[in-house]
Structure 1
Amino acid sequence: MAAQIHFQSVSKSFSRELFRDLSFGINDGERIGLIGPNGSGKSTLLKLLAGLEEADSGNVTVRKGLRRVYLSQAEAYDETATIEEILLAAIANHPEEHERYELVEKATENLSLDAGQRFGQLSGGQRKRVAIAAAMIQSPDLLLMDEPTNHLDLEGILWLEATLKEAPFAYIVISHDRFFLENVTDRIIEVNRMFPGGIFTTPGNYSTFLERKQEFLAGQAEQQAALANRLRKETEWLRRMPKARTTKAQYRIDAAEKLKQDYSAVKQRNERNRKLQIEFDATGRQTRRLIECSGIAKGIAGRTLFADLDLVLSPGSCIGLMGRNGAGKSTLMRLLTGELEPDAGTIKRADNLKIVHFDQRRQTLNPDDSLRTALSPVGDTVIYQGRSIHVAGFAKRFLFDTEQLEMPVRSLSGGEQARILIARLMVQAADVLLLDEPTNDLDIQSLEVLEESIEEFPGAVVLISHDRFFLNRLSDEILNLDGQGHGEYFADYFQWQDVITEREELRKASKAQAARSESERLSLEKKAARPRKLSKSEQKELDQMEAKILKAEEALEAAQLKIQDPTVASNADKLAEACAAMEEQQRVVEALYERWKELEALK
């Protein structure tokens, strides 16, 4: 493979040093996942690769004529521009006008959006899809993506995975979504000072990377132990060495000094392998039903989000919420807290129930506050589980260094701000944790610690997350909201994926059948030699057709509702039988409509 970009001893600093002496290369066709702790400089590194930032030192060699396209975390487009205008602007330098429109038409078809929609009318997930399409339509040699799954719902993430698997270009993607990295990468690069040279890279997907990383860290720990043993022996020899032999043994003294430096470097790298210390404070109450929702419904702006929904939260339970953006997941959270009231149904809460809510909007953080104030608004101590802890010590539990305490919140990375919010949750004793996208911006190591702490929490938990690994590991069951009034329970993420995939295949088959029927109708019309009138029996059939269609559609609706029944959806045999029945009823309805058109044409 031909080289695209090569870094040699590249360093970069802003308010602090991000990385030093990084060396690696990017080749044609590679699909690279870029990971690392929050604040390690991943986004800055991506901008260096894109040519948007310059290195403080070192050499960056870029192949002549390399087409690089950078996709940032935030989408900056004119709110009044249409999707078509945004995509056309992305390929304004394309020489052939008719080809530009063909490319845009193909891109919007892949997006499943109307090209005439204005950017300001789109949801967060739709905006991200448009930004991704605008990047890919430029046919880059190298696409650089910074957290492209942010704001995408699960269907959007699956769409992006499928699109990247077919991509003819190389790409580098920053992501903390482990399923995503597993599915779309063939090489992982981690930027982390725990590694020599500040970087660790291996070919293969994410699971292969984890194996190699564990092997390396185990070897580095053994190296530290071996160096410590050798250093101890050399130190003892130096202490016993007669003064008369000092000059003669200078080489050994120098070797001991070098050994000391090597040991210090390895020890320092291993000490950087720190983890967050997260432990949610629970009240310990064992009330059997903390929150019980019976037949609740909620709508917004005339649209029913969910109706007739039942939900029970008990100590030790964990429910994962799934659904498209705007389906009502965050609204359901606000119903559970009591911030909103249901349109129908009842919500019963245990007496003196303590609910702690993690809000994905992060509106509780004042960007002008210092880290010290954000962690401890009053004084220099934090009360945690009845103990008084100095704010500096508390900050270290969340991987903040003492010199960061006076930094304003606005200067911290998204992952560091997320850690502040988690720290605030920890000091509140809770019966119920409501976590709305707690994984956003957190690095993978922090995610793993967060998962462990939630598993150990004895109260009830409700999760909203687009991180499939996180959701599947923690949830006892999955509640999927379709945003059209229905809520459906699944055993886990994989069952949801299987059912959704099967339904999508049925939808496509039904659409294809309808297209074939239309084609056959047109063919019959062309073959008709001359018009004829309805016979008496045909007139009678036409008079009864509307009632027949109404009856058939009612049967189809009943078949569709049966598929949504949790007892059917959770049983593979019953689900297959119900899907076959629905497909057959769909054919009956289509045949009746086709016959109705034929009879109407003869009137």
Structure 2
Amino acid sequence: MAVLLGVHRLSKAFGSRPLFSGISFGVETGERIGLIGPNGAGKSTLLKILAGLTPPDEGTVSVSSGLTVGLVAQVPDFAEGATVRSTVLEAARSERDDHEWEAEARADEVLARLSLAGGGVSPEKPVALLSGGQRKRVALARELVRRPDLLLLDEPTNHLDVESIAWLEELVARAPFATVTVTHDRLFLQRVSTRVLELDRRNPGGLLSVSGDFAAWVAAKEQLLSAMESREAALANTLRRETEWLRRGPKARTTKQQARAQRAEALAEEVESLAASNRSRSVRLDFDAAGRSPKRLLVAEGIGKSHGGRRLFRGLDLTLAPGSRVGLIGPNGCGKSTLLRVLVGSEPPDEGTVALAEGTPVVFFEQGRESLDPEATVLGTVCPEGDHVVYRGRSLHARSYLDRFLFAQEQMEVKVGRLSGGEQSRLLLARLMLRPAGLLVLDEPTNDLDLATLDVLEESLAEFPGALLLVTHDRAFLDRATDVLLAFDPDGDGTLTRLSGLDQWESWRRETRDRRTPPPKAPAAAAVPSPPRSRRRLGYLEQRELDGIEPRIEAAEAELARLEASLEAPDVLSDGPRLLALSRAIEEARAEVDRLYARWAELSG
């Protein structure tokens, strides 16, 4: 494969804090690179450097001749007053070789492919009025219409619902261009990546490159850590022997003493460096459970809620006991956050009743982190008065408590508004953990958290003895942290379906999507006869097309039948990715049959 872009000895610092130093790697045609690393490692900064938007402090970025690079930022920017279509059309016009009609046709094609020309999203709708997920699609359309050779994606799954994430997975997997994606979505990395780059100053050279998917990176990382620990132990033993020799006194000292002393000094520096790399600091999360809990913490009977004349949910019966783990899953805007608020009593239901056991403390992590004051300091957020907090009945110094959440001493007086998204999430978790909980309600807690923190949060929730209500777009996290999923109907009729896990949800999703897909249209000749009208005279090419369209319809129907028969194969039914790809292929085959019938009707009408 041809090399599109090469990075050599790249370094960048943020103020006095180094982000990465001396990293080198290349990107080849067709690669699907997942870029991971801890919060603050400089992943977003690296993408901006690759896109030519930010200069490095040191090193070079070499690109192949004529390379077009696109960047979908974590928080995309749009021109004031821009509409969906004007944003994409402006990007299409930047291709100077195109005529205006070509730019418009290309813009309309991309809008249709990304479901931005229908489905409730008007092309003339201002971008400022769109949801976070819809704005991400517009930003993606803006880059796709430029026909990039390399597309850089910074946390593209944030603010997307699970349906949109599955759609994005398929788009990236089938793309004709190379991609570098910053994401903490483990399932996305597993299904899409052909190589994983881990940006972490503790890695040798600051960067770990592993060919393969996320599982391959996990295995390689374990081997690397084991090798580094073994080398640290071996060097430490050598250093101990050298140090003992140097301490023996004058008799052991020869003319070689100075050289051995220098060798011992170099060994000490290497051991110290390895020890620092092998020390892996992680957030310490441990939710404080309330005391004795009743057998039933929450009982909801027949609850329903509508908004703006649209039914969000109806007829829901739900009982939560200590140890219950319930996740909510559905498209953006379906009512997941509203249901959480109704269950905890923040909003009344339109119908039915909700009873929360008396004295049950509820801890709520809100989706937008609205309870955080952007003008408050990190220290003041967890400790508005004094300098101590009470955690699990013990008094702790607030600075020591915040150290559990990886906040450095120099960050204590930093305003919350200047923190990264991941740091804000950690700060909110730190404040919530000071409160005992019987019912834990988490609305999108995984946004912006790095992989290490996600793992620790998973472990903390597994050990929490109370009940959990969870909404998250991170499918792997949702599947591991919950026992039951309540799935919102994609048609928006307000029904909720109980499912046992992500695998069952994916099967249910395919079934509901197939039920919504209309059967192939019958030929126009089979429709109710209409009054006779004069038939348009066909041109030579149209007549040839009509003469050959019936064999094409037969071939398309045969292909559709073959694909549908493949669904019965046991090896397909047991293979989730193959089943998803086959379902997509069936949809496309049905659409082709419909298109051919419509064209046949048009030509023969």
Give TM-score, length-normalised by structure 1. Answer: 0.84
Report matched runs for 1:374-523 at 5 Å: 374-482=381-489, 483-508=492-517, 510=518, 512-513=519-520, 515-518=521-524, 520-521=526-527
Structure 1's 159 and 518: CA in aligned 2 closer, same or farther, altered over 3 A?
farther
Distance 1:70 1:4 in 2: 15
**Equivalent residue, structure 2, for 1:196:** 204
Deviation at 1:137, TM superposition (A): 1.8
Letter in 2 for 1:290: L
- Pick aligned residue for 1:325 from 321, 327, 332: 332
Which amino acid in structure 1 is aligned with residue 110 of structure 2?
A
**What is the deviation of 1:111?**
2.4
Give me the whole-angstrom Cα distance separating, in 1, the residues matched to 2:189 and 2:467: 30
Aligned partners of 2:116 and 2:138 also within 8 Å: no
> Matched residues in 2 for 1:163 and 1:236: separation?
62
Q: Residue 92 of structure 2 contacts residue 104 of structure 2 at CA under 8 Å; is this kept in 1? A: no
One-letter identity of the residue aligned with 2:516: R
Per the alignment, residue 182 of structure 2 pairs with 174
- Note if 1:71 corresponds to 2:77: no
Tell me the secondary structure at the aligned position of residue 12 of structure 1. strand
CA contact (8 A) 2:437 2:466 kept: yes
C-alpha contact 1:284 1:458 (8 A) present in aligned 2: no
Alpha-carbon displacement from aligned partner over 1:138-174 (angstroms, at most 9, x marks no partner): 1101111111111111111011111111100011111
Q: How does 1:360-375 map to 2 (within 5 A)?
A: 360-375=367-382
Residue 314 of structure 2 contacts residue 495 of structure 2 at CA under 8 Å; is this kept in 1? Answer: yes
Q: Which residue of 2 aligns with 1:553?
A: none
Shift of 1:528: 9.9
Is the Cα–Cα contact under 8 Å of residues 129 and 156 in structure 1 kept in the other structure?
A: no
Letter in 2 for 1:3: V
**Equivalent residue for 1:307, pick from 283, 298, 314:** 314
Q: Which amino acid aligns with 1:2?
A: A
Q: Which amino acid aligns with 2:103?
A: R
Deviation at 1:248, TM superposition (A): 2.8
CA distance 1:519–1:232, shift in 2 (3 Å): farther
Distance 2:299 2:252 in 1: 84
Residue 477 of structure 1 deviates from its aligned partner by 0.6
Spell out, residue by residue over 1:516-561, the C-alpha distance to the aligned partner (whole angstroms, 9 max, x if none): 3546438x6699999xxxxxxxxxxxxxxxxxxxxxxxxxxxxxxx
Kindly indicate whether the alpha-carbon contact (under 8 Å) linking 1:79 and 1:118 is maintained by their aligned counterparts in 2. Answer: no
Pick one of 243, 247, 259 that aligns with 1:251: 259
After superposition, the Cα gap between the structure-2 partners of 1:526 and 1:189, relative to the gap in structure 1 and judged at 3 Å, is farther
Q: Determine if the alignment matches structure 1 residue 356 to structure 2 residue 357.
A: no
Stretch deviating more after TM superposition (400-409 or 43-52): 400-409
- Describe the shift of the 1:332–1:79 C-alpha distance in structure 2 as closer, same or farther (beyond 3 A): farther
Query: Is the deviation greater in 256-265 or in 113-122?
Result: 113-122
- Matched with 2:102 is 99
Match of 1:185 among 193, 204, 209: 193
Q: CA deviation at 1:254?
A: 1.6
Q: Per the alignment, in what secondary structure is the counterpart of residue 240 of structure 1?
A: coil
Q: 1:87 to 1:519 in 2, by over 3 A?
A: farther
Q: In the aligned structure 1, how far is the partner of 2:153 from the partner of 2:513?
A: 28
Q: Secondary structure at the match of 1:66?
A: coil
TM-fit CA distance, 1:79: 6.1
1:124 is displaced (CA, Å) by 2.1
How many angstroms apart in 2 are the aligned matches of 1:161 and 1:253? Answer: 56
What is the alpha-carbon distance in structure 2 between the residues aligned to residue 507 and residue 516 of structure 1? 17
Counterpart code for 1:265: S
Q: Secondary structure at the match of 2:159?
A: coil
Structure 2 residue identity aligned to 1:106 = E
- Measured in 1, the distance between the counterparts of 2:25 and 2:112 equals 38
What are the Cα deviations for residues 319-374 of structure 1, in whole angstroms up to 9, with x where unaligned?
Answer: 00011111111001111221110011000110111000000111111222222212
Partner Cα distance (1:111, 1:6) in 2:
31
CA deviation after TM superposition for structure 1 residue 202, in Å: 0.6
Identity percentage of aligned residues: 46
CA drift of 1:87 comes to 1.3
CA contact (8 A) 1:275 1:445 kept: yes
Stretches of structure 2 that go unaligned for 5 or more consecutive residues are: 118-122, 536-605
Write the deviation string for residues 41-73 of structure 1: whole angstroms up to 9, x where unpaired: 111111111111011122222223211111111
Alignment check: 8 A CA contact 1:284 1:459 kept: no
User: 2:93 aligns to what SS in structure 1?
Assistant: coil
Residues 335 and 341, structure 1, Cα contact 8 Å, conserved in 2? yes
Look at both structures and tell me which one has the larger radius of gyration over its CA atoms: 1
Q: Which amino acid aligns with 1:139?
A: R
Counterpart contact for 1:392–1:405, Cα < 8 Å: yes
Cα distance change, pair 529–247 in 1 and its aligned pair in 2 (3 A): closer
Distance of aligned partners of 1:107 and 1:416 in 2 relative to their CA distance in 1, 3 Å threshold: same
Kindly provide the amino acid, as one letter, of the partner of residue 131 in structure 1. A
With 45-54 and 12-21 compared, the bigger mean Cα shift is at 12-21
- Please state if 1:61 is matched with 2:62: yes
**Alpha carbons of 1:519 and 1:491: their partners in 2 closer, same or farther (altered >3 Å)?**
farther
Q: Distance in 1 between matches of 2:261 and 2:126?
A: 73
Contact 1:319 1:476 in 2 (8 A): yes
Residue number among 270, 292, 297 corresponding to 1:285 in the alignment: 292
- Match in the other structure for 1:154: 162
For structure 1, which runs of at least 5 residues remain unmatched after alignment?
531-603
Q: CA deviation at 1:20?
A: 1.6
More deviation, 213-222/23-32? 23-32
Distance across 2 between alignment mates of 1:519 and 1:61: 61
Amino acid at match of 2:502: Y
- Cα distance, 1:518–1:319 mapped onto 2, change above 3 Å: farther
- Aligned counterparts of 2:209 and 2:259: Cα–Cα separation in 1: 36
Aligned amino acid, residue 49 of structure 1:
L
One-letter code of the match for 1:237? W
Alignment of 1:527-546 (within 5 A): none
In 2, the alpha carbon distance for the partners of 1:207 and 1:24 equals 21
Matching residue of 1:564:
none
Aligned residues, how many? 525
In structure 2, relative to structure 1, the CA distance for the partners of 1:485 and 1:258 (3 Å cut) is same
Distance in structure 1 (CA, Å) of the matches to 2:461 and 2:226: 27
Aligned AA (2:20): F
C-alpha distance in 2 between matches for 1:457 and 1:492: 20
| Cα distance in 2 for residues equivalent to 1:459 and 1:519 | 64
What is the alpha-carbon distance in structure 2 between the residues aligned to residue 12 and residue 284 of structure 1?
49
Contact 1:314 1:460 in 2 (8 A): yes
Which residue of the partner structure matches residue 11 of structure 2? 11
| Residue aligning to 1:47 | 48
CA deviation map 1:211-234 (0-9, x unaligned): 000110111111111111111111
Change (3 A) 1:367 1:85: same
Structure 1 equivalent of residue 353 of structure 2: 346
- In 1, distance between residues paired with 2:40 and 2:379? 18
Cα distance in 1 for partners of 2:90, 2:374 equals 34
Shift in Å, 1:246: 4.3
Q: Distance in 2 between matches of 1:100 and 1:439?
A: 39
Q: Is the 8 A contact 2:69 2:148 kept in 1?
A: yes
**What SS does the corresponding residue of 2:285 show, helix, strand or coil?**
coil
User: 1:78 Cα deviation (Å)?
Assistant: 4.2
- Residue of structure 1 equivalent to 2:240: 232
What is the aligned-residue RMSD (CA, Å)?
A: 2.0
